[in-house]
Amino acid sequence: MHRTRSQLAMAAVAVALGLLVVVQLRAQAGNAGLAQLSTQDLTVLVANLNARNDQLRREVSSLEDELATLNQNRARGEESLDELRADLRRVRAYAGLDPVGGPGVTIFISGPIDGSGVEELINELRNAGAEAIGVGDVRIVTGVVVTGARGAAAIAEAPLGEVFELSAIGAPDKLTGSLTRSGGVIAQLAATQPDVSVTVTPVDRIELPATTRTLVPAHGHPRL
């Protein structure tokens, strides 16, 4: 048993020595190969290596430039997408498709006002820069009108009654000033409909619902 172990150890040492000899011979062969080259050949070899290194550096630089360009394009694409989404949100809010909230004014109306009087208030708010207007739970959008004689005003065919509230989102001071200015719409209503009381109150926050109307044209189509 001891003899077998000794033989195995000797065999392992012989294998290791053999590997070392092979590695040494290969190294000497490589050095001998370079040693056999002339000075001119070595110069050409070094020049080729330098040229290859320069080519690799140019390729790396080109790939880095392409990567930077791709990153810039992606950043611009994401920025453009964010801008489009923001524009879409503004358009939907302005069109009344989404609920909105913000500062503005509330107008408390009591008395037998007619539909034209309410329309005059709405038009004055629009001219003063109101971004969204609502009467009760109805969002004022294209196609929504107020009609009716005194005491029978109705919006979207729903009676308003003699006491209701009109709300508008916008700059409170600007909207208030436009409505209450001397000779303005409220002053005119006081002269033509003295039984109607109109009170304007600036508020910090108003919530207006989205419209329930279908705003897609039934007969018109986009012209491309």
Which CATH number do you get for residue 127? 3.30.70.1880
Query: Which runs of E-coded beta strand occur in the chain?
Result: 100-110, 132-135, 138-139, 146-147, 154-155, 158-159, 163-169, 197-208
Residues 116 and 28 in one domain: no
**Measured distance CA(23)–CA(19) in Å, rounded:** 6
pLDDT, tens only, 123-165:
999 999 999 999 988 999 888 888 999 989 999 888 998 899 9
Q: Is residue 122 part of a domain?
A: yes
Residue 166's closest CA among 110, 204, 93, 96?
110
What's the mean pLDDT when you consider all of the chain? 80
SS3 3: helix
Residues 107 and 30 in one domain: no
Confidence of residue 193 (pLDDT cuts 50, 70, 90): very high
Residues 110 and 204 in one domain: yes
**Measured distance CA(106)–CA(134) in Å, rounded:** 10
The pLDDT assigned to 36 comes to 66
The pLDDT assigned to 35 comes to 61
* DSSP letter for each residue of 139-158: E--TT--EE-STT--EETTE
Q: Is residue 178 part of a domain?
A: yes
Quote the number of domains for the chain.
2
Confidence of residue 83 (pLDDT cuts 50, 70, 90): confident
Proportion of the chain above pLDDT 70, given as a percent: 78
In terms of pTM, does the model score above 0.75? Answer: no
Residues 105 and 20 in one domain: no
pLDDT, tens only, 168-181:
999 999 999 999 99
Residue 142's domain spans which residues? 101-208
Average of per-residue pLDDT across 75-95: 78
Residues 203 and 108 in one domain: yes
